[in-house]
Each structure stands twice: as structure tokens, then as C-alpha cells.
């Protein structure tokens, strides 16, 4: 499938820091893409360039096969920033109508879409309420509706589940899947790795303004796996020592082993079979994204970055 978005060597420097320092990646149409990174890694700046709020200092953005033209392409993008914002004193229906019209929908079109989405997410009774009367979760839902109302080709969601209860989070998650199935591409920016593992096809990890990881979730896990396996035995053999593996952890009859270089998982299995013990389970342990994330970001002064001077 074609790429909806391609970033080529994007750079954006502020006076005191390199917010985005030479980042390139591409996103396939219809995929759910995870943009990860610690606080202050440059995610928001990157997203603001993709949404046309900022211009990159250098580099190119290709959108839908052509050079990105913020003025005209903006209607094809829906952006839900991390910091939610709505007019507190405005009625919800009017607010949604206004923001949809700003995206370029006609009044009648916007009304239709509002009716559709409000019905779908069971928000019809709110139409004449003001935002200040809504709970945090409710306004979160409203914000999501406003973001996707104009059926954008590219939907950018910054921490979409924060503040939602599990029920509503699932509701939104299903909508995200549905939108992707109908051909929208979703960029999903978050710190919550378990959500990324669950939802995203493809991820990019940025740190200190640079890209440090790029690939599908399973590829990345393969890339960072440490050849660990967990074995559960009915009874322990006499000896737990073999050149094919190294014992990492033992918890009664549950073992964690690392397979040594030059050996395969079958060699380990063979060893235990020969010991004549009953094997109850044998699983590969893949690192969680969380572990990979922490490993990559730790010790990089990510948190101190905001106060650093640009030296290069």
C-alpha cells in the first residue's frame, strides 16, 4: 500500500534546543502508527509540523504522494492535541459545528456528521449542554468526535485515552480500529506502551530529537529479544547445567534460561527430554515495548534536555 505520509530529514531548531533533529520515516495508508518518546523528545514539535502549525527549518514532508501543502491538506488531517481545549461557555452542538466548519465542511454536511457521531457515541442528549458542564471523560469523547468528524485521511491522536474509564477507552479504541479499516491512517502518540503493543502496527521511537527505533511491533521485539525462554517442569532434573543455555532465574520448577550463541531452542528442549523430566510449558520471552523503551531512553539525559544549550 502507498504511503500517506513521508518525512524526509525534518529539522526544527529552537533557540535553546534541537527539538527535531533530522528525522525521517514514512507511514503506510490505513495503518495505525505509534509515535513514542519520553517527555520533551520532540514529539509535539514533530506533530505540529505534520499538522502544518509549524514549518520545518529544513527537510520535506510528502503527504498523500505530493509535497505537503498545509493550506489545502489541513482538511484531510484531524489533530487531537494532548492538552485538550474547548470553549467552555459554548454549547456542545454549536462548538462541534463551528470546528467542523473551520475544517472546511459545509454547514449541512457538518450537521449530518455531528448527528451521526453523536448518535454513535451516545452523546445526543448533550447537544445543548455547555462544555463546562461536562465531566473530563465526556469532554474527551467530544474532543475525539471533533477530531474525526470531517473524516480525515490522517488522524493524529496525542494520548487519546488519558482520563477515560475502561468502558469509554474501549469504545474509542473500537472507533480507532473502525476508522483504520475504512482507510484512515492513525498516528497515535503516547507513553502507554501496553496500548501501543495492542493497537499499533508500526512504531517510531524518538529521543532527544532523533529517531532511535523504526519498525513493526513484532520486528522490533525480535530485534531486541535476548533469546530467553521460560520452561516449566513437573520435576527438576538432577543437574541444570548444559552448554546450550544459561540459567537466568529459577523459581521452584519454573525456569528462565538464555540460549547461548550457536544453539537453538530445540537444543534446550532436547536436553530436558534427555533428562527425562516432564515439560509442562516452553515459551519464548519477548521483551515488552516498555522494557525496550526504558532501555533505550535511560541514561540519555532525556529529562535534562530542556535546559541544554545547542552546541553543534
Partner 1 sequence: MNKILLIIQREYLTRVKNKRFILTTLLMPLLIVGFIAVSTLLAIQGKESHKIAVVDANGFFKGNLKSSGNLNFEFEEGVDTLNYISKGYSDIILIPKFEGTEKTNYIIRSKKRISIITEGNISDRINAAIEDKMLQDAGINKGSLDSIHKQSQFAELKAVEENGGTVKESNAALSYGIGFGSGMLIYITMFIYGAMVMRGVMEEKTNRIAEVIVSSVKPFQLMLGKIIGIGAVGLTQFLMWIVLIVGLTTIAQAFIPHDVLEQVNTLQQYNGQMPSGGMVKAGEAAQQIYKVQHTFSTANWPVIIGCFIFYFIGGYLFYAALFAAVGSVVNEDPQDAQSLMLPITMPIIFSFIIMSNAVQDPSTPIAIWASIIPFSSPMVMMARIAYGIPGTVPYWQLGLSMISLIGGFLLTTWLSGKIYRTGILMYGKKVNWKEMGKWAFRRS
**Interacting residues toward partner 1 by CB under 8 A:** 48, 51-53, 74, 77, 79-81, 83-90, 98-99, 101-104, 143, 146
* Dihedral sign of CA atoms 150, 153, 158, 164 in order: positive
Task: Name the burial class of residue 306, with classes exposed (0-12), middle (13-18) and buried (19+) by CB atoms within 10 angstroms of its CB.
Answer: exposed
State how far the Cα of 102 lies from the Cα of 68, in Å rounded to an integer: 19
Closest to partner 1 by CB, 54 vs 263, is 54
Closest to partner 1 by CB, 113 vs 211, is 113
Name which of 178, 94, 109 is nearest 149 in CA terms. 109
Closest to partner 1 by CB, 146 vs 233, is 146
Least Å distance, CB 168 to partner 1, is 20
Least Å distance, CB 40 to partner 1, is 12
Closest to partner 1 by CB, 42 vs 81, is 81
> Do residues 170 and 201 touch, judged by C-beta distance below 8 A?
no
Q: Residue 60 forms beta bridges with which residues?
A: 8
Least Å distance, CB 101 to partner 1, is 5
Least Å distance, CB 24 to partner 1, is 23
Least Å distance, CB 191 to partner 1, is 19
> Do residues 309 and 268 touch, judged by C-beta distance below 8 A?
no
Closest to partner 1 by CB, 138 vs 205, is 138
Residues whose CB is less than 8 angstroms from the CB of residue 215 and which lie 6 or more positions away in sequence, other chains included: 202, 203, 223
> Do residues 52 and 23 touch, judged by C-beta distance below 8 A?
no
What's the chain's length in residues?
312
Query: Strand 202-207 to strand 210-216: parallel, antiparallel, or no bridges (unpaired)?
Result: antiparallel
Buried b (16+ CB within 10 A) or exposed e, 156-174: bbbbbbebbeeebbebbbe
Least Å distance, CB 11 to partner 1, is 16
Least Å distance, CB 19 to partner 1, is 12
Closest to partner 1 by CB, 38 vs 272, is 38
Closest to partner 1 by CB, 37 vs 52, is 52
Cell numbers at residue 241, please?
547445567
Amino acid at each position: 500500500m502507498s504511503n500517506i505520509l513521508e518525512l524526509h530529514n525534518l529539522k526544527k531548531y529552537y533557540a535553546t534546543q534541537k527539538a527535531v533533529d533530522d528525522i525521517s520515516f514514512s507511514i503506510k495508508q490505513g495503518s495505525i502508527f505509534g509515535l513514542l518518546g519520553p517527555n520533551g523528545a520532540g514529539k509535539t514539535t514533530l506533530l505540529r509540523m505534520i499538522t502544518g502549525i509549524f514549518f520545518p527549518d529544513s527537510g520535506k514532508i510528502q503527504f498523500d504522494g505530493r509535497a505537503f501543502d498545509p493550506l489545502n491538506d489541513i482538511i484531510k488531517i484531524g489533530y487531537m492535541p494532548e492538552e485538550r481545549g474547548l470553549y467552555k461557555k459554548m454549547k456542545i452542538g454549536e462548538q462541534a459545528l463551528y470546528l467542523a466548519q473551520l475544517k472546511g465542511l459545509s454547514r449541512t454536511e457538518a450537521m449530518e456528521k455531528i448527528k451521526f457521531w453523536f448518535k454513535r457515541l451516545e452523546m445526543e442528549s448533550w447537544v445543548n449542554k455547555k462544555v463546562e458542564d461536562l465531566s473530563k471523560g465526556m469532554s474527551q469523547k467530544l474532543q475525539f468526535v471533533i477530531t474525526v468528524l470531517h473524516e480525515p485521511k490522517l488522524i493524529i491522536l496525542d494520548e487519546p485515552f488519558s482520563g477515560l474509564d475502561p468502558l469509554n477507552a474501549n469504545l474509542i479504541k473500537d472507533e480507532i480500529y473502525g476508522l483504520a479499516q475504512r482507510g484512515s491512517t492513525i498516528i497515535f502518540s503516547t507513553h502507554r506502551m501496553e496500548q501501543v503493543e495492542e493497537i499499533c502496527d508500526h512504531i517510531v521511537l524518538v529521543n532527544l530529537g532523533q529517531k532511535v527505533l523504526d519498525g513493526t511491533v513484532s520486528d522490533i521485539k525480535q530485534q531486541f529479544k535476548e533469546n530467553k525462554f521460560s520452561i516449566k517442569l513437573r520435576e527438576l532434573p538432577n543437574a541444570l547445567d548444559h552448554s546450550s543455555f544459561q540459567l537466568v532465574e529459577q523459581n521452584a520448577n519454573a525456569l528462565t534460561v538464555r540460549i547461548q550463541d550457536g544453539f537453538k531452542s530445540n537444543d534446550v528442549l532436547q536436553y530436558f527430554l534427555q533428562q527425562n523430566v516432564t515439560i509442562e510449558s516452553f515459551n519464548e520471552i519477548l521483551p515488552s515495548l516498555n522494557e525496550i523503551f526504558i532501555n533505550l531512553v535511560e541514561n540519555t539525559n532525556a529529562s535534562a534536555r530542556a535546559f541544554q544549550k545547542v552546541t553543534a
